[in-house]
Structure formats: structure tokens, C-alpha cells
């Protein structure tokens, strides 16, 4: 991602940070950095002469690379490599489009006033849920056309998606874009951002994106373990829906530590609202898949 425009949530100037933006309507905790447990002095951008690259964009690209490479490796021997790459890269395109669409919907009032920025994805502004949903839809269509086994491919994609999300969160940690509630040392990982161009808060606040990254990494380990532990016993697609369930639970509860975004039904943020819907879908589909697998499993004939 090139440039250092407004933060992903459609931001307003932070008077304590020079040009660093804050989410709409959100002021940082006015606590000096001396009381912060961990001080993060990161410049959110890399400056290469006249070119400015955002760390967020760099780690998003790295996350996409490894998020594609892992499923390709897991599909080897079952799916032709050219088919796997076709599905993966259409999934990437769908993920980028979905991430932007969901972000624009979340900050609709801002983009209604600035419609010229709707397509300016290089200035920042993506929604992880949109990436997941758009990526699944984008990969599903070429998978059908090329005869790729959908459930098996989805099970391979799950750890890749989770790994890509985890790597992308490194950029979020550096730039401080996602704001959180105040924190004390006994409550969690407390940080404050000190660079004059940071998008982050003075703190001390929870480093929620690090919690999110840890949740994603556990999701990688969980799905890879399930591939071995349930091989031949679970139907194709079940592991993907276990991951969707896992991710939804994490996004729902960690969302209570986030601030600055609009709320929807019952005072929940957009990501929490989507998490509830995905949770319900995952429970329903998992129950159907596992029940059908038990019903169709042949019953041994007594001697």
C-alpha cells in the first residue's frame, strides 16, 4: 500500500499527534506515555526517497503471499497446481474487493461525503471480515468451474487465511490504526504510541491487534492439527467451518476492547455483528455436515 493517507476507519485529525488520525469521534486516553508499560515508537511508514510505503500495506502483501502458499502446499497431490493457483488468486482478488466494500459500508457516512475516496484503497481502509467473505466467494467460483473439490479446498484454505490475517496484524501493531480501551498492567498488554506520525493512541491502551494475532495463530495450529486428527473421519469442509466458528468467537469478544467504530444491532460493532451471523452459520453447517457423515457411514454387519 503506497501513501500515508487517512486511517482505515475514515479518520479525523488527532490534536495530540500532529497529522496522525483517530477514528471518527474518538479521542485518545489523555495519559502521558510515562505511565505506559510498553512504548511503541514506530513510524507507520517506510520512506524510500520520494516513495512512502505503509507498514500496513507491506505486511498485508506478505500475509497474502504466505496465506496463498500454505493452502497450495496442503492441496499438493490432490489438486493440480495450476487449478490451485487459479482458485487462490481469484480468492485474493475477491478478498481485496470484499475488504474494501465492507469497510466503505462500515464508514458509509464518511464516504458519502467523500465519494472520490471510495476506490482509493491505497490510502488505507480494509475490513478483515470483508477479506474473508470476499475471498471465499472469489475462490468458490473458479473452484466450481475447474472441478476442484470444494470442501477439501476450503479445509486447506482455512489455515492459510488465518496465517495471512496473523501476518497482516503485524502492520496494524506498527501503525496503531485500530484503537482500544484504556488498560492497566494487570488487565493485559498495555501500550502507548510515541512517534509523532503514529496513528496510535498515547495510551496506556490494550494492544488488541496483538490479541487478535495470537487468536489467528492458534487458529492456524488448530486447523492444521484437525487435518491430521480427523483425517478420514470428518467430512470435507468441516475443518473450514470449525475455523470460521473459532474466528467468529474471537472477533466478537475482542470487539469489546475496540473503540471508535459505529455500532449496529444491540450496540455491537460491524465486525461483532458479522461474527454473530458467521457463528450461527458455522454451527448450523457443522451440525449438518457431521450429522450427515454419521448417517451415511456404513454400519458394520454383525457376524
Q: Which residue has the higher pLDDT, 133 or 36?
A: 133
Q: Is the pLDDT at 1 greater than 70, yes or no?
A: no
Looking at residues 154-172, what average pLDDT do you find?
94
Does a structural domain hold residue 37? yes
| Residue 264: predicted pLDDT | 74
Does a structural domain hold residue 245? yes
Looking at residues 204-225, what average pLDDT do you find?
96
| Residue 4: predicted pLDDT | 32
Beta strands in the chain (DSSP E): 11-13, 21-23, 38-40, 45-48, 51-54, 190-193, 205-206
Q: Is the pLDDT at 25 greater than 70, yes or no?
A: no
| Residue 207: predicted pLDDT | 95
Any idea what DSSP says for residue 109?
A: H
| Residue 123: predicted pLDDT | 64
Does a structural domain hold residue 67? yes
Looking at residues 254-280, what average pLDDT do you find?
87
Residue partners of 128: CB distance under 8 A and separation at least 6: 99, 165, 168, 251, 271
| Residue 143: predicted pLDDT | 92
Say if residues 243 and 161 touch (Cβ distance below 8 Å): yes
Looking at residues 229-248, what average pLDDT do you find?
93
Does a structural domain hold residue 152? yes
| Residue 75: predicted pLDDT | 92
Any idea what DSSP says for residue 30?
A: -
Lowest mean pLDDT among 107-116, 169-178, 248-257: 107-116
The number of C-alpha atoms within 13 Å of 249 and in the hemisphere containing its C-beta is 10
Lowest mean pLDDT among 83-92, 185-194, 254-263: 254-263
| Residue 54: predicted pLDDT | 84
pLDDT level of residue 107 (50, 70, 90 thresholds): confident
Residue of 90, 70, 89, 62 lying closest to 1 (CA atoms):
62
Distance CA 264, CA 272 (A): 9
Distance CA 212, CA 219 (A): 11
Q: Is the pLDDT at 91 greater than 70, yes or no?
A: yes
Residue of 129, 126, 132 lying closest to 171 (CA atoms):
126
Domain total for the chain?
1
| Residue 11: predicted pLDDT | 37
267 burial via Cβ count (<10 Å: 0-12, 13-18, 19+): exposed
Looking at residues 39-47, what average pLDDT do you find?
90
Does a structural domain hold residue 8? no
Any idea what DSSP says for residue 40?
A: E
Range(s) of the domain holding residue 162:
25-293
Looking at residues 77-93, what average pLDDT do you find?
90
Does a structural domain hold residue 19? no
Read out DSSP for 181-217? -B--TTTS-EEEE--TT-SS-SS-EE-HHHHHHHHHH
Does a structural domain hold residue 66? yes
Distance CA 107, CA 11 (A): 10
Distance CA 173, CA 193 (A): 10
Q: Is the pLDDT at 154 greater than 80, yes or no?
A: yes
Does a structural domain hold residue 302? no
- Whole-model pTM: value is 0.81
pLDDT level of residue 261 (50, 70, 90 thresholds): confident
Say if residues 213 and 169 touch (Cβ distance below 8 Å): yes
Amino acid at each position: 500500500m503506497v501513501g500515508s493517507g487517512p486511517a482505515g476507519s475514515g479518520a479525523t485529525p488527532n490534536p495530540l499527534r500532529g497529522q496522525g488520525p483517530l477514528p471518527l469521534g474518538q479521542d485518545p486516553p489523555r495519559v502521558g506515555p510515562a505511565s505506559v508499560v510498553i512504548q511503541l515508537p514506530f513510524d507507520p511508514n517506510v520512506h524510500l526517497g520520494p516513495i512512502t510505503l505503509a507498514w500496513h500495506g507491506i505486511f498485508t502483501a506478505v500475509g497474502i503471499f504466505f496465506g496463498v502458499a500454505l493452502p497450495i502446499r496442503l492441496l499438493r497431490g490432490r489438486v493440480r497446481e495450476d487449478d490451485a493457483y487459479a482458485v487462490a488468486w481469484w480468492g485474493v482478488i475477491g478478498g481485496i474487493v470484499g475488504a474494501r466494500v465492507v469497510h466503505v459500508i462500515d464508514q458509509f457516512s464518511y464516504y458519502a461525503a467523500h465519494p472520490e475516496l471510495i476506490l482509493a484503497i491505497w490510502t488505507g481502509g480494509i475490513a478483515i471480515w470483508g477479506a474473508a467473505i470476499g475471498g471465499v466467494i472469489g475462490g468458490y467460483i473458479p473452484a466450481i468451474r475447474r472441478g476442484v473439490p470444494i470442501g477439501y479446498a476450503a479445509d486447506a484454505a482455512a489455515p492459510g487465511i488465518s496465517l495471512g490475517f496473523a501476518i497482516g496484524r503485524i502492520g496494524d501493531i506498527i501503525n496503531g490504526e485500530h484503537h482500544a480501551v484504556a488498560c492497566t498492567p494487570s488487565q493485559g498488554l498495555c501500550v502507548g504510541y510515541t512517534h509523532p506520525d503514529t496513528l496510535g493512541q498515547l495510551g496506556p491502551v490494550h494492544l488488541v491487534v496483538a490479541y487478535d494475532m495470537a487468536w489467528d495463530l492458534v487458529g492456524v495450529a488448530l486447523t492444521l492439527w484437525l487435518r491430521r486428527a480427523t483425517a478420514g473421519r470428518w467430512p470435507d469442509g468441516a475443518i473450514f467451518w470449525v475455523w470460521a466458528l473459532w474466528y467468529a468467537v474471537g472477533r466478537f469478544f475482542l470487539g469489546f476492547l475496540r473503540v471508535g467504530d459505529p455500532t449496529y444491532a444491540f450496540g455491537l460493532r460491524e465486525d461483532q455483528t458479522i461474527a454473530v451471523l458467521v457463528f450461527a452459520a458455522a454451527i448450523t453447517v457443522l451440525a449438518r455436515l457431521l450429522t450427515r457423515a454419521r448417517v451415511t457411514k456404513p454400519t458394520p454387519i454383525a457376524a
